Each structure stands twice: as C-alpha cells, then as structure tokens.
A and B are shown apart, each in its own frame.
Chain A
Amino acid sequence: MSVTDSSLSRPGLLGRTTVNAVVAISVLYTLLPVLWLVLAASKGRDSLFGSDLLSLGDFSFLQNLGDLFAMDGGLYGRWYVNSLLYAVAGAAIGSLVSVACGYAFDKYRFRHKEKLFGLVLAAVMVPQTVLALPLYLMASGAGLVNTFWAVFVPVLFNPFGVYLGRVFSQGYVPDEVLEAARIDGAGELTTYVRVALRMLGPGLVTVFLFQLTAIWNNFFLPMVMLSDQDLYPVSLGLYQWNSSASVSPEYYPVVIMGSLLAVLPLILAFTLLQRFWRSGLTAGAVK
C-alpha cells in the first residue's frame, strides 16, 4: 500500500463519529445565536417576549425594518453611513499607509532600521484604553472633539499592518524585480506604485480586511470622542438605544433589527474577498 495515502492517518469509524459530533456541536454553538438574531428580527415586540420563536404567526420583518429607519428621525441610516465611511475610507487609507511603510522596511536599508521596527511592533501591544484619554485631550486642544476627524484619524494607525506589509513584501515582491526596474531607469516610487503594489495586492486586501473589521467593531474611541448622535457609528448608536430599551421597550425590536443589518457588511466583505484573505491568515506567524 502506498504511504502517500493520507487516509492512513485517519481515525476509525467510532473516532470519526465522535470527531464529527464535536465539530457539529461547535458549529451549532457558533451558528445558533446568529440564527436567533435572524428569527428575532422578524418578530413583533409582543411575540419577542413570548419567546415562541419558531411560530410564523407574527411575521413583522418588514415592519421592523421600517421602524428601524423611522426611529428617532432616521438616525440609524445616518449611523450606518457614518460606520461605512469610517470603516471603508479608514481601512483603505490605513492599509495603503501601513503596507507602503512595511514595504519600505523590507526593501530599503538605513541606520537603526530594526530598532525602528521594534517600535512599530511595540505599538501593537499598547491597549486602546491607554491612548483614549490623551487622544481626547489632544483633540479637545485642537478643537476636534465631537467631529468626524477625532474618530477617523486615530483609526488609520495600524502597526500590525506594517508588520504584515513587511512579511508580504518579503514573500511577494522579489528583489530582482526591483533591480530590473532600476536598470530600466524607473524611479523608485514609480516602481512601487506600478510594479510592487500590484504584486502586494492579496496582502493589501488582507490588511484592509483586518482594519475594516477593527474599525467597524470600534466602540471605545467613538464613545470617548463623540457626543453628537449624528456622528455616531452603528456600534455606539445601538449601545445607546439598548440602554434606552430598558425604559422604553419599543427600542428592543429596532435594536435587534439594527444588529442584524450591522452584521451584513463584514459578511459581504469576507465573502467577496475570501480568495485573498485566506492566504494572509498565517502570515503573522512567520518565525
């Protein structure tokens, strides 16, 4: 029998049943709460509390959707647009900035390079809560508190993206290509934009997705910086609505529907870009 047959290492029938059962239970654990969210979003307020989730008697999905966008003068729509703006624009600019820096770390030599890179890695470790108060004081000194920029500028900073950029640049952009471009007389920056950036594409998408997720999830910074509801991202808005729900239960169905809609963009992004990010997942663990 050929030893390349990978079925040799497979467990027997009993083992296989156990393995499948464990995985199936884990998948149920991760899927059921999301399924609950979908079902709960289609319930009216009364049947939500009746918790008879599977009966289709009270199907108010569309009504909840309408209520969501009508609540408090259409605030949710604003929050959604804000979140998209913070996340998509922030991740696009942030990933370009980080990957460019990581590429430069990989391809150029200068004094104290590794020390500087160490500083970048150290920045990965610093908790966001440590930076929030000083950032708030700086923004308040500059008159930027409670503006778009107070949230947008800090989220551009992505030191882990620089690390990934360097790893990807090592892997995807051979030095010979740069030498060839130099011999052809191409400028350094032209080479980066025309040649290297294209090769870095999958890496750039990975960094973009990481940052998109982080910004879409961002909650602490907007909470510190923003008091104007019109500038809120979805996360902070839903947090506030949920705190109102204990007093005015009409908020419950809209919070649930709002949560469901807030999950969609990341699912969409991960599905559309899955070809790219899968290759990037392990890049962080290079020895």
Chain B
Amino acid sequence: MTTTTPPRVPAGAPGTTAPAPANPRARRAARRRRLTACGVLMTPFFALLVTVFLIPVGTAVRLSFYSDDQPGLGFGPERTVFVGLRSYAAVLTDPTFLGGLGTVALYCLVYIPLLVLGALALALLLDSGAVRLRAFAQLGLFLPHAVPGIIAALIWLYLYTPGISPVIELFAKADLTIDFLGIHTVIPSIVNIALWSNLGYNTVVFYAALQAVPREVIEASVVDGAGPVRTALQVKTPLVRASIVMVAIFTLIWALQLFTEPMLLSQSSPMISSRFSPSMYIYDAAFTRNNYSLAAAASVVLLVCTIALSYGVTRFTSRAGNAEEAR
C-alpha cells in the first residue's frame, strides 16, 4: 500500500484533503520528513538487532560448519577448515546431548501443563468472586516473580538440603526420608522451582485477561442456567485463549533454555552432570572444552527445535481455535 502513488491533484485545487499539503512537492517533502523521523526512531533498535542478534546468529551458523583442525603432529599454525555437517553429526550422535534433549522434553511435558493449568485454575477461582482478600492473594502469589531465578533456585536448594531444610525435618518427624536431589526426584524438584517462580505471575496475567471479559457474556451464560464451573470452563476459558497461547509459547521458549536452576543445583547434586540440559551442554562445549564448532552446532539444533516447537504450538492452537469458531 505504500507503493501506490498519491492521486495527482493540481496545485491549489479545491477539495483536497485537509491535512495533506495540496502541493505535490510539499507532499513529497512531508513524506520524506516522516520517513526520516521513522528512520531516526528505528535506527537505535535495529543497530542493536544487527549487532547482538543477526550477526551472532549468523556467526553461530557459520561456526557450526567450520572447525579448528590441528595439522599433523601438532606442528604449524592452526587452520580453520570447512567440515560441512560433521559437527552436527557429532552433536546428534552424542548420547550426552541427546540425553539433555530428553531431560528438557520431560521437563517441558511436566512443567508447562502444570504451570498453564495451575495458573488458569487459580485465575478462574480468583475471578469467581468467591475468594476473600483477593488483592492480598494476588500479591502473595505474585511475590516470587520479584525473586530472581538464581535466588529462587538458592532458596529451594536450601529447602532441599538435609540439615537446613525445615521441609525435610517435617517429613522426618513423620518417619519419611525424602531425597529431593536423587535420580528420580531431581526433575520434579527443578519443575517445582520453576513453577514456584512463575505460577503467580501467570495467574495475574490470566486474571487480568478474565477481567476484560464482558460481564454481559457471563450473565448470559448464568441466565442460560450454567453453573459457576461450567461458566468458568466453557464460557470464560475460551474467551482468554489468546492469553493462554501467549503464556504457553513464552513458557516453552524459556523452558527449552533450562540452565539457571540445574546449574545451581549441580553444585550440590551429583545427579546433575555438566551436560544436563542442551544449554548446559552448549556452555560446557564452548567454555570448558573450547570446542566452538560443537557448541555452535548444538546451539543451532536448539534454535531449530525452539522455532519448530513455537511454530507448532501457534499452528496447533490457531487450528483448534478455528475449529471452535466454526462450530
């Protein structure tokens, strides 16, 4: 629409639209002024986009196809040679990387439904009008959002540590011993940290979306004889679908980057190796083993997974949404 030329109007002709200058030259000048302003407003952001996003992504892709090869016997200078897909083959056949992918997949499968459904349920309860002290409840739920991820992990690490934790002490009084950082409990323990950090924030997001639902819609469903549960599930929930999709996608993108919590817990648990998740694998490959091409290939694999999954969620939910609207 920007390429269409404005209709030629003779200079000073009556009946031209009021805001645009009648003179074509003046109009072109106005347009140029606007484009200049637009450029000025956009340049700082796009300068950042190029330097800290486009070039790094390009660099990661390029690095993944090259490798520093040591010439024979270790003499002579190191050369960077094109190795094609060799680094990808190395990453995708590395059991530690595949194990990391599996760990994150399991983590996502447990964490994302728990978070989205939990937050939605709490928001619907808050919105039902039956909750006392609603403002206080929201504030309390929201509080962990102000706790940085690493500190949330620290708090829970202490709550998982025998000798410090009052939780373990309570269990001990009931003659239960529980090892929160054992082989089967470590992923649930990490899920719990992430859930604790994000449950309240997303509850508030959903609650705000529910508040925007027109009251007439809810009254209509009540008049139709729907009980509070049916109103919540079949009337309110579909109306906040956009928020649910947004929360699910952002949670997914963050969950795939799983790094902070396991990195901190690995200080105390032998169950978490230095390549526990793909992000930890990348960190380990790049900064412990100094194998840049391996790290870059792993990064690109993680990137492709992220984009594919986000795209899949978007398509899936929009199709589900269309099916619903078609009914």
Q: Is A6 an interface residue (CB 8 A)?
A: yes
Known: A9-B218, A123-B49. 13 other contacts (CB 8 A): A9-B228, A22-B125, A101-B42, A110-B35, A127-B303, A129-B283, A134-B56, A134-B296, A153-B52, A188-B33, A219-B148, A262-B148, A263-B146
**Secondary structure type dominating chain A contacts:** helix
Nearest CB of B to A8, in Å: 5
Stretch at the interface among A57-65, A68-76, A276-284: A276-284
A-B contact pairs, 27 of them (CB 8 A): A4-B215, A9-B222, A10-B128, A11-B128, A15-B130, A19-B131, A20-B130, A20-B132, A27-B137, A33-B156, A49-B163, A51-B164, A111-B2, A129-B283, A131-B52, A133-B295, A134-B60, A134-B296, A137-B292, A157-B52, A189-B41, A217-B148, A238-B154, A242-B267, A259-B154, A259-B155, A263-B151
Q: Is B219 an interface residue (CB 8 A)?
A: yes
Q: Is B91 an interface residue (CB 8 A)?
A: no
Q: Give residues of chain B (269-313) contacting chain A, Cβ–Cβ below 8 Å.
A: 278-279, 282-283, 286-287, 292, 295-296, 299-300, 302-303, 306-307, 310
How far, in angstroms, from A130 to B301 measured CA to CA in the complex?
9
Contact B151 A235 (CB under 8 A): yes
Interfacial chain A residues near B137, Cβ < 8 Å: 23-24, 26-27
Q: Is B158 an interface residue (CB 8 A)?
A: yes
Contact A51 B125 (CB under 8 A): no
Contact B44 A101 (CB under 8 A): yes
Interfacial chain B residues near A80, Cβ < 8 Å: none
How far, in angstroms, from A49 to B231 measured CA to CA in the complex?
50
Contact B59 A286 (CB under 8 A): no
Q: Give residues of chain A (1-51) contacting chain B, Cβ–Cβ below 8 Å.
A: 3-4, 6-11, 15-16, 19-20, 22-24, 26-27, 29-31, 33-34, 36-37, 40, 48-49, 51
Known: A110-B35, A130-B57. Is A30-B159 also a contact (CB below 8 A)? no
Contact A127 B257 (CB under 8 A): yes
Q: Is A213 an interface residue (CB 8 A)?
A: yes
Interfacial chain A residues near B264, Cβ < 8 Å: 239, 242
Nearest CB of A to B70, in Å: 19
Known: A51-B169, A126-B303, A133-B299. Is A183-B222 also a contact (CB below 8 A)? no
Known: A15-B130, A36-B159, A130-B300. Is A242-B154 also a contact (CB below 8 A)? yes
Q: Is B149 an interface residue (CB 8 A)?
A: yes
Q: Give residues of chain A (116-136) contacting chain B, Cβ–Cβ below 8 Å.
A: 119-120, 122-136
Interfacial chain B residues near A134, Cβ < 8 Å: 55-57, 59-60, 63, 296
Q: Closest 9 interchain pairs by CB? A: A188-B37, A134-B56, A134-B59, A101-B45, A266-B146, A108-B38, A104-B41, A129-B279, A285-B243
Nearest CB of B to A177, in Å: 12
- Taking a contact as CB atoms closer than 8 A, the residue among A129, A246, A284 that contacts B268 in the complex is A246
Contact A243 B299 (CB under 8 A): no
- Taking a contact as CB atoms closer than 8 A, the residue among A51, A127, A138, A157 that contacts B279 in the complex is A127
How far, in angstroms, from A183 to B21 measured CA to CA in the complex?
9
Q: Is B103 an interface residue (CB 8 A)?
A: no
Q: Give residues of chain A (249-287) contacting chain B, Cβ–Cβ below 8 Å.
A: 252, 255-256, 259, 262-263, 266-267, 270, 278, 281-282, 284-287
Nearest CB of A to B284, in Å: 11
Contact A36 B155 (CB under 8 A): yes
Q: Is A98 an interface residue (CB 8 A)?
A: yes
Nearest CB of A to B222, in Å: 5
How far, in angstroms, from A97 to B52 measured CA to CA in the complex?
14
Closest partner residue, chain B, to A265 (CB atom):
B146
Interfacial chain B residues near A7, Cβ < 8 Å: 129
How many pairs, one residue from A and one from B, have CB atoms within 8 Å of each other in the complex?
305
How far, in angstroms, from A110 to B2 measured CA to CA in the complex?
6
Contact A219 B166 (CB under 8 A): no
Q: How many residues of B contact A (CB 8 A)?
A: 112
Contact B56 A135 (CB under 8 A): yes
**Contact indicator per residue, chain B 197-216, by CB within 8 Å of chain A (1) or not (0):** 00110001100110010010
Q: Is B140 an interface residue (CB 8 A)?
A: yes
How far, in angstroms, from A247 to B133 measured CA to CA in the complex?
45
Nearest CB of B to A133, in Å: 5
Which one of B37, B150, B159 has the greatest number of beta carbons of chain A within 10 Å? B150
Which one of A11, A136, A213 has the greatest number of beta carbons of chain B within 10 Å? A11
Interfacial chain B residues near A148, Cβ < 8 Å: none
Contact B140 A3 (CB under 8 A): no
Interfacial chain A residues near B34, Cβ < 8 Å: 108, 188
Q: Is A159 an interface residue (CB 8 A)?
A: yes
Contact B130 A10 (CB under 8 A): yes
How far, in angstroms, from A128 to B33 measured CA to CA in the complex?
37
Q: Is B80 an interface residue (CB 8 A)?
A: no
Known: A126-B306, A216-B148, A259-B151. Is A133-B267 also a contact (CB below 8 A)? no
- Taking a contact as CB atoms closer than 8 A, the residue among A10, A123, A179, A238 that contacts B228 in the complex is A10
Q: Is A192 an interface residue (CB 8 A)?
A: yes
Q: Is A162 an interface residue (CB 8 A)?
A: yes
Interfacial chain A residues near B256, Cβ < 8 Å: 127
Closest partner residue, chain A, to B124 (CB atom):
A19
How far, in angstroms, from A53 to B270 measured CA to CA in the complex?
28
Q: Is A143 an interface residue (CB 8 A)?
A: no
- Taking a contact as CB atoms closer than 8 A, the residue among B57, B229, B260, B282 that contacts A219 in the complex is B260
How far, in angstroms, from A157 to B52 measured CA to CA in the complex?
7
Interfacial chain B residues near A20, Cβ < 8 Å: 130-132
